[in-house]
Amino acid sequence: MARVALYVLAAPLDYRRKAWVGSIYEGLLNLASKLSSQLGVEVQVNPLVTSSDYRPQPPPALDGVLVVVLSGGTDRMIYNIVSSIGRPSLIYAHPGENSLASVREAVAALRYSGFEVYTVYGSLEELEGRVRSWLLALKAYASLRGSRVGLIGEPEPWLLNVRDPEVLRARFGVDVVKLSWDNMLGRALKADSNMVSSKVSELKRLFPVVEVPDEDLEKAVRVYYGLRSLVEEYKLDAVAVEARDMLVEDLRDYGPYLAVSLLSSEGVPAEYEVDVEPLLTKLIVYRLTGKSSFTANLTRIDERRRTVVLSHCTVPIDMIDVSRSKLTTYFETGRTVAIRGRLREGERVTILRLGGPNLDTMLVARGVIVNGDIGDPNLCRTQIEVKIDGNPLELVEKSIGNHMIVAYGDIVEELKILSSIAKITLLQVA
């Protein structure tokens, strides 16, 4: 659980402001309790600070600090607290009592000293929403430390943006576990036949259209159990697997496309092609939202309509209308099992990718799904058209790699905060 310290600051009080500050402080106690319960974040409320000489003794394992500034004359208090704790900070400036003046002075000094600070300004009524977004982003970022990402096999030969596992460890504290594809296949072939048959029957009941024979569906399900066995044994939080079926004729029927869909829907972000950057992006989305996301190629752009087409041969089952989707073959080979899924039209989405040589850049765009299932036979099976808020060509001009992640909902504000905390340069389509 992420731990955050909350400090409320005001200049030495006169009688007029004492009751006002006290009332706000009590309200913040209630807010801290509410957000702790709802978000699973421990918010520790400290006594009211009114002295410029105050320096906190930070508790161990603190992930961040939240500073609510209610008046002017607090510049040094802000600086002392944030610099002493040395963790990512949110500083709130109140629109009265010269709070904003002190915040601006202190923030400048802190940034000159190399401290990471995120600032918000607005009425007290707006504070809860701003703090909630910051806590969600901080919790997601903190949760990456100690996460275990499994890489099954090798990156596909066409991938050019391949990151050294040490970069993940250095930037986010993520441990990379490298496992062999043959290990996965061996477990797949030994999967319990009764479990496999049961899952095949379940999928045939779930999808109204199944365009592949039971034999192929059984092999795809075995790959799922092979992967899940590795996830469970090695306690993996996310997994990427080599799509060896694309390269080896004898393995054409052992594609991972159904498997990564099932795992993603079960809360284990999964990816094929062993493309690490989108996998880490999916893990970030899951830690932010608790929901699955869709990996896709950007395949078409209509500048006049401001739309893009995104497609891939699998999608998490919990993201689609299964009653209007189908199990079919993989696009490139016409073999194994892929998913043609219909995503929810009219839904707001965030399109994003983490990348850069040191995983220090993130590309984001907002949009709305205008077509949840295009049905073009010349593209990967799951295809959506999204109307972009801004110029869609910027997705090419600012490209940091092919695969993009599509998440339901507008999470750009949380991504901005996370980028600030993690010192990531955010490139936003506008």
* Domain spans in the chain, listed from the N-terminal domain onward: 3-144, 148-428
Phi, psi of 94 (to 5 degrees): -85, 145
Domain at 148-428, CATH from 3.20.20.70, 3.40.50.620, 3.40.275.10, 3.40.50.970: 3.40.275.10
Quick: pLDDT tens for 383-418. Answer: 999 999 999 999 999 999 999 999 999 999 999 999
Looking up tokens 């504000």, which residue turns up? 413
- Report the 10 Å Cβ neighbour count for 235: 10
End-to-end Cα, the chain, rounded Å: 35
Distance CA 66, CA 87 (A): 10
Residue closest to 43 by CA, chosen among 65, 69, 24, 59: 65
Quick: pLDDT tens for 288-297. Answer: 999 999 999 9
As averages over each run of 10 residues, the pLDDT of the chain (430 residues) reads 94 78 92 94 93 85 94 95 94 92 97 92 89 95 96 78 83 95 94 97 96 95 97 97 70 86 97 90 97 96 97 95 94 87 97 94 98 93 97 96 96 96 95
Q: What is the CATH number of domain 3-144?
A: 3.40.50.10940
DSSP state of 206: H
Q: Reduced to 3 states, what is the DSSP secondary structure of residue 266? A: coil
Model pLDDT, residue 15: 61
Distance CA 427, CA 183 (A): 39
Model pLDDT, residue 222: 97
Whether 148-428 and 3-144 are alike in CATH topology: the answer is no
Model pLDDT, residue 206: 96
Residue closest to 285 by CA, chosen among 368, 369, 176, 407: 407
Residue closest to 273 by CA, chosen among 290, 296, 292: 296
Model pLDDT, residue 247: 57
Distance CA 176, CA 349 (A): 29
Output Rg (C-alpha) for the chain, integer angstroms: 24
Model pLDDT, residue 253: 78
CA distances from 325 to 8, 320, 322, 341 (A): 52, 7, 5, 5
Q: Are 133 and 414 in contact (CB under 8 A)?
A: yes
- Report the 10 Å Cβ neighbour count for 422: 20
3-state SS track over 393-427 = CHHHHCCCCCCEEEEECCCHHHHHHHHHHHCCEEE
Distance CA 264, CA 94 (A): 42
3-state SS track over 200-226 = HHHHHHHCCEECCCHHHHHHHHHHHHH
Structure-token pair, residue 74: 């607090």
Distance CA 51, CA 214 (A): 73
Model pLDDT, residue 246: 59
Residue 233 exposed, middle or buried by CB count within 10 Å (0-12, 13-18, 19+) = exposed
Outline where DSSP puts E strands in 13-139: 42-45, 64-69, 89-93, 117-121
Residue closest to 381 by CA, chosen among 336, 323, 341: 341
User: C-alpha angle 204/235/315, rounded to 5°?
Assistant: 35
- Report the 10 Å Cβ neighbour count for 312: 25
Structure-token pair, residue 404: 């993009």
